[in-house]
With several copies, the nearest count.
Chain A
Amino acid sequence: MAEDPEQSLFEAPPMGEQERMVEAILFASAEPVSVAELNARMPHGADAAEALVHLRKRYEGRGVHLVKVGDAWAMRTAPDLGFLMQKETVEVRKLSRAAIETLAIVAYHQPVTRAEIEEIRGVSVSRGTIDLLLELEWIRFGRRKMTPGRPVTFVVTQGFLDHFGLESARDLPGLKELRAAGLLENRPPPGTGLQDDEDGEGEDSQSEMFDED
């Protein structure tokens, strides 16, 4: 070989290895790294510029990109995935009365159809109430009922049981126990029960009252 003996002492690693090295350096580095610095950190004879070309191609379309910052290189998450870098802070809000009642009916009567919920509550159930409970994953769709129209039913979820500290829906106290616990004493006068149902949300409209026969 006609090479300088000093230079051949260090054989440059294969390009695949060089690519790995650039990848690791850019990943771990707190700042963008210039080609010169990459070369300085990599073994003698390595060609960071070429490795960068390969690496950039490899990350095309991935969740992470190779970007050039001035004359240095860095890895960044893909801009379209920025929304993933958000963490939600949670504001706790009490469930509306309509939602609680609907949830209670599902819990006590599951599987129950929407029409049945409306029959029990005596007012129509707004789409929003059901959606909220579905979204909270406290209720889910159950089996369709084998009645005309095959309406969907709702049942409570494991998440519901977890939230309320119940092992099963059967653990819910019965009417007798509710009464024993004094929960039934606050009885609204007959006929006024439906009035105070409104939560000022306009969710439930009495005009659509279920027709009880």
Chain B
Amino acid sequence: MSEEQVDTSNVTSVEARLAAEALIVDVDGFEGPLDLLLTLSRTQKVDLRRISVLQLAEQYLVFVEKAKQLRIELAADYLVMAAWLAFLKSRLLLPPDPEDEGPSGEELAAHLAFQLERLEAMRDVAARLMGRDQKGRDFFARGVPEDVTRVRKVKYTATLLDLMQGYARIRTRDDFRPYVMDRDHVLTMEQALDRMRGLIGYAGDWADLVTFLPEGWEADPQRRRSATAATFAASLELAKEGKIEIRQGETFSPITIRRKPTDG
């Protein structure tokens, strides 16, 4: 940016110099080049979306030129903006170069207009925000907040590892205990059915249902009850399928079954 550095050309008239200064002396008051552009755009007195970016760019470049003449040290931001606006100006004035793939001058101008509009919008809402009722100025909190006294309380904690170790501890007390509780005393109908299907081929003659109970299930009363019920249910199912016949002489007498003869 050395070519943009303040030059040493003379200022012709003191009056002109003062007039220019009136505009520029406030350069510290501007919050950067975008803010300055926003201020300059106000002179166009149009909707920011319809602003002449070209005109704005020229105004800005004039401003920077004057600042140079006045030997006002402008921050780099302002000079970068000046260079960019000079570039934008050339893009807007020259016919588009078909070789160039960059954004068009119109796109760049539209974005600048958007930025200005957005900045102005933020200014506006910032003012509205500050204009709201504020705590300590318009409304107030309790003047003497009461101290909250501290009371000790015990909080219990445990980790997932504690939980799993605890559970493992219980489960390993009797390693043979199945995972699902009580299932070791229950024979399901499916289990009985599987068993019966295998055995029924050998049951040509009437045989007591009790003889079909799985081994080891007759002794324990709970297991026997479960196995008997399951086996009975399974035999009903097989009878329904036409595979066996069921017979009971009288109430409470033994239930007997046999394979259904193939000839019917």
Considering only residues 176-197 of chain A, those with a C-beta below 8 Å from chain B are 178, 181, 183-184, 186-191, 193-194
Q: Total A-B residue pairs with C-beta atoms closer than 8 Å?
A: 270
CA–CA, A30 and B148, complex, Å: 12
Shortest distance between the CB of B139 and any CB in chain A (Å): 5
B77 touches A123 (CB 8 A): yes
B153 touches A91 (CB 8 A): yes
CA–CA, A76 and B114, complex, Å: 40
Asked if A1 is at the interface (CB within 8 A of a chain B CB), the reply is no
B173 touches A122 (CB 8 A): yes
The CB with the most chain A CB atoms within 10 A, among B108, B111, B117, B162, is that of: B162
Q: Which of A28, A85, A100 contacts B130 (CB 8 A)?
A: A100
Asked if A120 is at the interface (CB within 8 A of a chain B CB), the reply is yes
Q: Mark B61-81, 1 if CB is under 8 A from A, else 0.
A: 000000000000000010000
CA–CA, A158 and B227, complex, Å: 39
A165 cross-chain contacts in B, Cβ below 8 A: 132-135, 139, 160
Considering only residues 124-179 of chain B, those with a C-beta below 8 Å from chain A are 124-126, 128-130, 132-160, 162-175, 179
Asked if A136 is at the interface (CB within 8 A of a chain B CB), the reply is yes
Shortest distance between the CB of B21 and any CB in chain A (Å): 22
Asked if B222 is at the interface (CB within 8 A of a chain A CB), the reply is yes
Considering only residues 62-115 of chain A, those with a C-beta below 8 Å from chain B are 65, 74-79, 82, 85-95, 97-101, 103-105, 107-109
Asked if A151 is at the interface (CB within 8 A of a chain B CB), the reply is no
CA–CA, A25 and B141, complex, Å: 11
Binds A, one of B32-40, B211-219, B240-248: B32-40
Shortest distance between the CB of A177 and any CB in chain B (Å): 9
Binds B, one of A9-17, A46-54, A167-175, A203-211: A167-175
A79 touches B111 (CB 8 A): no
B136 touches A89 (CB 8 A): yes
Considering only residues 1-42 of chain A, those with a C-beta below 8 Å from chain B are 24, 27-31
A181 touches B121 (CB 8 A): yes
B156 touches A173 (CB 8 A): no
Q: Chain A, interface size: which category?
A: 35 or more
A94 cross-chain contacts in B, Cβ below 8 A: 156-158, 162
CA–CA, A172 and B166, complex, Å: 13
Asked if B237 is at the interface (CB within 8 A of a chain A CB), the reply is no
Shortest distance between the CB of B168 and any CB in chain A (Å): 4
CA–CA, A101 and B167, complex, Å: 6
Q: Which of B102, B150, B159, B165 contacts A89 (CB 8 A)?
A: B150
Asked if B122 is at the interface (CB within 8 A of a chain A CB), the reply is yes
Asked if A213 is at the interface (CB within 8 A of a chain B CB), the reply is yes
CA–CA, A165 and B161, complex, Å: 11
Q: Given the interface contacts A27-B143, A105-B170, A184-B172, does A92 sit within 8 Å of B124 by beta carbon?
A: no
29 chain-A/chain-B pairs, Cβ below 8 angstroms = A27-B143, A28-B143, A30-B141, A74-B141, A75-B142, A77-B139, A82-B133, A85-B148, A90-B152, A92-B154, A93-B156, A99-B158, A100-B158, A101-B31, A104-B129, A104-B166, A107-B129, A108-B167, A120-B170, A164-B129, A166-B132, A173-B128, A173-B132, A174-B179, A181-B117, A181-B164, A183-B168, A189-B103, A193-B173
**Given A164-B135, A183-B165, 9 additional A-B pairs, CB 8 A:** A27-B142, A30-B145, A88-B153, A90-B137, A95-B157, A119-B181, A184-B168, A189-B108, A190-B107
Q: Contact residues of B with A, CB < 8 Å?
A: 31-35, 37, 77, 102-103, 107-108, 110-111, 114-115, 117-119, 121-126, 128-130, 132-160, 162-175, 179, 181, 220, 222
